[in-house]
């Protein structure tokens, strides 16, 4: 207790010298508080954005490789390159990867009908192949609510319209319903064409277009593919959908005024149903249902591992696996720069601060050499004397920590916002100049209380992404406070070590004799 009282009195006896040490320690610790708060907040945001956002994986045909593998005709010209397609089962198997944060799945299917008339229909479109392409006046969309989330479509306010909540349910446009006298609860009949390649087990040498073959217990009609000059197997599937809702579309009927005024391109002929409905129409190995899968990585750095996994699952080498991390980079790059600036600045401040504290402590010990000699002559041990000087520094440091935390918390937010603004501008300039580096079903039910549209696609393993902007609100956490106290303790202990080292060099009688 005596040592503590003596240390407290010595602080006030040497106001000028201790005031200078206090000012320097206050500046060091205030800067430490600001940089640690910014660093911890930036690190937390980076982790949050890494968890919330993920890079979208793009799987596309490698056109360069397809050109190299293409054959030439008699004139030496390349034959027509057909865009390769991946089997839906393969695309869906990729969604099981542990590297993915989520996968968003939707699908589409062309269809025709003998029971209802499409808008702008001039002739009934039949499900007959045309150069390998399936025709149909209606476009079925499975779990694709993009137009709804963008605000271009809304459910009719008739009080009975809901979104599809199970298989074989659909919603149609009010224009299509009015033209055909349809209401909620009615059933419509549609048909679509499913295609598949002919298995090697079937000898096609004596078969021609129009012949019937049985594959997996289903009868298929052979048709000639004008592109590949081969025979394909096709069958017509008829199914029924129950109308559970009507939607209104504020867009033009045609996306582009230059488009052909044909029923197949009219937005009002789009029928919204569930992904499960479209998948149930097709059999394994059949094409006709166009499935679109968007893959989102948990971490953009996992792209190589994800590519290795999908290659092992059967992705051909004629497809490339790339990622567009623009959104992730736009959010994280400024934060990473701010964190690096904070860490660098903190290191510089601590090093320079430690050197200044060491010099001031050395000067203080030399000025108080006579005091040391008197206390030692009176019998005070070296360790108690060193403890006395260390306690003086600790008391000053504790006071600086308290006021430094208050001041640092006050100025951390404007400093971080200023840094964020400058780093965001820098990262945007780099991006514009090309220097930037590159199964729960989220469907709504069928209750009448539904208002919000489902997601634009079946979301597997994640939640919807939203447009985000980077904002920083540095807060003082317990971890940050603990780091500040550890740093302040290290600074005072470092200065105390310098004091102990100098005190042990002094002999009391020699000090007093020099004074006399």
- Render pLDDT for 140-176 as a digit per residue (tens, 0 to 9): 999 999 899 888 999 998 888 999 988 999 999 999 9
- Return the structure tokens found at 32: 């430490």
The residue whose two tokens read 């916002």 is: 417
What is d(CA 334, CA 183) in angstroms, rounded to the nearest whole number? 53
Is the same domain home to 150 and 283? yes
Q: Do the beta carbons of residue 194 and residue 288 sit within 8 Å?
A: yes
Is the same domain home to 73 and 135? no
Q: Give the best-scoring range by mean pLDDT among 21-35, 158-172, 485-499.
A: 158-172
Is the same domain home to 142 and 68? no
pLDDT above 60 for 78: no
At 436, is the pLDDT very low, low, confident or very high (cuts 50, 70, 90)? very low
Identify the pLDDT of residue 86: 83
Is the same domain home to 162 and 257? yes
Is the same domain home to 14 and 139? no
The 10s digit of each residue's pLDDT in 265-305 is: 899 999 999 999 998 998 888 888 888 888 988 888 888 99
Is 154 in a helix, a strand, or coil?
strand
Q: Do the beta carbons of residue 155 and residue 243 sit within 8 Å?
A: no
Element (H, E) at 256: none
At 125, is the pLDDT very low, low, confident or very high (cuts 50, 70, 90)? very low
Is the same domain home to 420 and 289? no
Statement: the pTM of the whole predicted model exceeds 0.95: no
Is the same domain home to 454 and 424? yes
What is d(CA 381, CA 387) in angstroms, rounded to the nearest whole number? 10
**Count of domains for the chain:** 3
Q: Can you give the residue range of the structural domain that contains 138?
A: 100-296
Q: Would you put residue 333 in left (φ > 0), alpha (ψ -120 to 50) or beta?
A: alpha
pLDDT above 50 for 350: yes
Domain boundary among 309, 324, 339: 324
| HEC assignment per residue over 292-329 | EEEEEECCHHHHHHHHHHHHHHCCCCCEEEEEECHHHH
Rounded (10°) angle between helices 382-432 and 326-367: 150
Element (H, E) at 186: none
- Return the structure tokens found at 451: 């208002």
Is the same domain home to 286 and 159? yes
Domain boundary among 275, 308, 324: 324
Is the same domain home to 510 and 420? yes
Is the same domain home to 408 and 499? yes
The 10s digit of each residue's pLDDT in 174-219 is: 999 999 999 999 999 999 999 888 888 888 888 888 889 998 889 9
- Return the structure tokens found at 234: 């096709």
Is the same domain home to 16 and 165? no
Is the same domain home to 373 and 283? no
Q: Name the average pLDDT for the chain.
A: 77
Q: Do the beta carbons of residue 221 and residue 233 sit within 8 Å?
A: yes
What is d(CA 23, CA 499) in angstroms, rounded to the nearest whole number? 19
At 429, is the pLDDT very low, low, confident or very high (cuts 50, 70, 90)? very low
Is 209 in a helix, a strand, or coil?
coil
Is 83 in a helix, a strand, or coil?
coil
Q: Do the beta carbons of residue 303 and residue 57 sit within 8 Å?
A: yes
């Amino acid at each position: 207790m005596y040592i503590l009282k003596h240390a407290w009195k010595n602080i006030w006896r040497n106001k000028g010298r201790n005031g200078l040490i206090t000012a320097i320690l206050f500046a060091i610790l205030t800067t430490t508080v600001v940089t640690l708060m910014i660093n911890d907040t930036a690190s937390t945001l980076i982790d949050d954005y890494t968890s919330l956002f993920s890079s979208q994986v793009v799987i596309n045909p490698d056109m360069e490789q397809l050109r190299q593998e293409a054959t030439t005709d008699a004139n030496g010209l390349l034959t027509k390159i057909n865009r390769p397609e991946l089997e839906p089962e393969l695309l869906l198997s990729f969604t099981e990867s542990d590297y993915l944060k989520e996968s968003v799945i939707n699908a589409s299917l062309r269809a025709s009908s003998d029971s209802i008339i499409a808008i702008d229909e001039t002739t009934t479109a039949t499900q007959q192949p045309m150069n390998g392409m399936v025709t149909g006046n209606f476009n079925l969309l499975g779990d694709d609510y993009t137009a709804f989330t963008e605000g271009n479509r809304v459910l009719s306010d008739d009080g009975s319209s809901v979104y599809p909540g199970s298989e074989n349910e659909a919603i149609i446009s009010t224009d299509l319903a009015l033209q055909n006298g349809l209401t909620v609860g009615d059933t419509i009949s549609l048909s679509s064409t499913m295609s598949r390649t002919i298995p090697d087990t079937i000898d096609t040498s004596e078969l021609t277009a129009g012949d019937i073959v049985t594959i997996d217990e289903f009868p298929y009609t052979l048709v000639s593919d004008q592109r590949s000059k081969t025979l394909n197997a096709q069958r017509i599937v008829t199914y029924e959908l129950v109308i559970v809702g009507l939607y209104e579309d504020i867009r033009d009927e045609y996306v582009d005024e230059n488009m052909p005024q044909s029923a197949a391109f009219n937005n009002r002929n789009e029928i919204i149903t569930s992904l499960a409905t479209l998948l149930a129409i097709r059999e394994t190995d059949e094409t006709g249902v166009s499935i679109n899968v968007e893959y989102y990585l948990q971490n953009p750095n996992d792209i190589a591992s994800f590519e290795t996994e999908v290659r092992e699952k059967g992705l051909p080498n004629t497809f490339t696996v790339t990622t567009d991390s623009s959104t992730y980079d736009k959010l994280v790059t400024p934060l990473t720069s701010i964190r690096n600036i904070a860490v660098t600045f903190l290191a510089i401040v601590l090093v320079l601060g430690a050197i200044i504290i060491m010099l001031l402590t050395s000067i203080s010990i030399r000025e108080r050499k006579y005091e040391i000699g008197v206390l030692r002559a009176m019998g005070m041990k070296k360790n108690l004397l060193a403890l006395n000087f260390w306690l003086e520094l600790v008391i000053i440091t504790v006071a600086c920590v308290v006021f430094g935390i208050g001041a640092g918390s006050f100025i951390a937010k404007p400093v971080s916002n200023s840094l964020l603004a400058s780093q965001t501008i820098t990262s945007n300039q780099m991006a514009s100049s090309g220097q930037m580096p590159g199964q729960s079903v989220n469907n709504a039910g069928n209750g009448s209380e539904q208002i919000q549209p489902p997601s634009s696609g079946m979301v597997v393993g994640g939640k919807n992404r939203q447009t985000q902007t980077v904002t920083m609100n540095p807060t003082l956490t317990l971890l940050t406070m603990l780091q500040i106290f550890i740093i302040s303790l290290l600074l005072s202990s470092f200065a105390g070590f310098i004091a102990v080292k100098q005190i042990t060099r002094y002999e009391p009688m020699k000090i007093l004799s020099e004074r006399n």
